[in-house]
Amino acid sequence: MKIIVIGSGGREHAIAKTLLQSPQVQHVVCIPGNGGTARLKRCENVPLKIDQVDQFEAIANYAKTHAIDLIVVGPEAPLALGITDALQNHNLTVFGPTQAGAQIESSKAWAKALMSEASIPTAASAVFTDATSARAYLQSQGAPIVIKADGLASGKGVTVAMTLEEAEGAISAAFAGKFGVAGQKVVIEEYLTGQEVSILALTDGETIRPLISAQDHKRIGEGDTGPNTGGMGAYAPAPLVTPELSDNATHRLRDRINQEILIPTMETLKKRGISYRGVLYAGLMITPEGDPKVIEFNCRFGDPEIQAILPLLDTPLETLLLATAQGQLAQQEITWKPGACACVVAASDGYPGSFEKGFAITGIEVAEAQGAIVFEAGTTLKDNRPVTSGGRVLGVTAVGETHDLAFEKAYQAIASIYFQGLYYRRDIGYRVRQKNSP
């Protein structure tokens, strides 16, 4: 098979690297890719634009002239712009939902309406298109409360406001244009407490197959403090319930997530005439009562979650992605390797605010010789050597028999890596680790 992977992050490096482990995969083309994908054997980067509608034809032409069997779309932005529709018009096989399906991530109001129609458990909410009525609603609800820009905002559109002043500020900022058109519509939502977990499921619109659960760490600072980021580390599987509860409870919760959330979402998409083929990512809160509630849906693999999931996947990835894209997922079982996987993100100092780029990265080979897998995100090549080019630079990942062993290996490996301004959280996985310092 020849496969195109669209995107340039750690997620796309992890997908490309995993695909290339299969003897069925001859060649992978990353558009545009990064410094990590550029150095993979049997892989090349092609610098086409992925975030402009008028460039999708160029990608289609490339795929047709190079006899590409499958196109895997990594990020949400091209999906929301309709890359899948454009490529499918050329009879290409695409993993990733159409523009209509991608609304589940690109419009929080749309997703909320779908959940309400399907009676899917989620925070109570209301949608506003002007600041005055949003403020009036806020006064009637009180704090804590959550304010969300409707559209895509690179993970920065959500304010969890502990006070009314903070909530007011978020509403003013959104309607003043802080998030562009994405913030001209605002969802105000009930504040939920509990433990968050990410469930990434493959669906071809008829069958839905959850992957192993994962836990992300969204805040920049240790102890889950400071601003939200794209994700500073992850592990899989995530024990879905508190350890005191028995395995039966875990099974029951997985079952409820399927029956109450994943299946009704897929059925409702189908009812709306959407043939959804790709990832349905459910960001869930498990409330203190043990009930799963949807915080958000995404239309693509979570990053870094997928970096902690793929190393445990036993079934060849290309088989699953192709079956999903072709509507044949019912015939596929997914099998997993035993153990746990840990991913610690190495970021540029200053992220998620401003940061400097262009610093040489050393020690990747040393880390990999210690048994870790280094997925590259914000890297590029300068004189054939990796240098930093983004906020999240590397995902240092390791598999172990237990979460503790996986984290020990990941933290040992990250200690071998250096670039100027390297920052990472030392407490990734604190919920599942016995020892809480690297």
The region that residue 59 occupies, defined by phi over 0 for left and psi between -120 and 50 for alpha, beta otherwise, is alpha
The binder of ligand AMP chosen from 134, 192, 279, 313 (CB under 6 A): 192
> Pick from ligand GLY, ligand AMP, none: which does 228 bind, CB < 5 to 8 A by kind?
ligand AMP
Subset of 104-123 contacting ligand AMP (CB under 6 A): 123
Half-sphere exposure of 327 (CA within 13 A, CB side): 5
Judge whether 54 and 66 are in contact, CB under 8 Å.
no
Q: What is the β-pairing status of strands 70-73 and 94-95? A: parallel
Enter the tokens of residue 101: 């399906």
Closer to ligand AMP at the Cβ: 62 or 191? 191
Q: How far is the CB of 359 from ligand AMP (least distance, A)?
A: 29
What distance separates the 2 farthest-apart alpha carbons in the chain?
60
DSSP for residue 21: T
Enter the tokens of residue 241: 């319930």
Kindly write down the DSSP assignment for every residue of 249-299, as one continuous string: HHHHHHHHIIIIIIHHHHHHHHHTT----EEEEEEEEE-TTS-EEEEEEES
Judge whether 223 and 427 are in contact, CB under 8 Å.
yes
Q: Is residue 376 within the footprint of ligand GLY (CB under 6 A)?
A: no
> Pick from ligand GLY, ligand AMP, none: which does 302 bind, CB < 5 to 8 A by kind?
ligand GLY
Q: Is residue 191 within the footprint of ligand AMP (CB under 6 A)?
A: yes
Q: Which of 106, 174, 182 is nearest to 135 (CA)?
A: 174
Tell me the per-residue interface mask from 283 to 322 with ligand GLY, x by CB under 6 A, - otherwise: ---------------x---xx-x-----------------
Closer to ligand AMP at the Cβ: 157 or 239? 157
Closer to ligand AMP at the Cβ: 189 or 204? 189
> Pick from ligand AMP, ligand GLY, none: which does 303 bind, CB < 5 to 8 A by kind?
ligand GLY
The binder of ligand AMP chosen from 155, 180, 226, 288 (CB under 6 A): 155
Q: Is residue 105 within the footprint of ligand GLY (CB under 6 A)?
A: no
CA dist 315 and 318 (Å) reads 9
Nearest-10 crossing angle of helices 108-117, 99-106: 100
Q: Is residue 283 within the footprint of ligand AMP (CB under 6 A)?
A: yes
Q: Is residue 157 within the footprint of ligand GLY (CB under 6 A)?
A: no
Tell me the per-residue interface mask from 292 to 331 with ligand AMP, x by CB under 6 A, - otherwise: ---xx-----------------------------------
**Dihedral angle at the C-alpha atoms of 423, 148, 216, 426, nearest 10 degrees?**
30
Q: How far is the CB of 157 from ligand AMP (least distance, A)?
A: 7
Q: How far is the CB of 302 from ligand GLY (least distance, A)?
A: 4
By CB under 6 A, name the binding residues for ligand AMP: 123, 146, 155, 158, 160, 189-192, 196, 218, 228, 283, 295-296
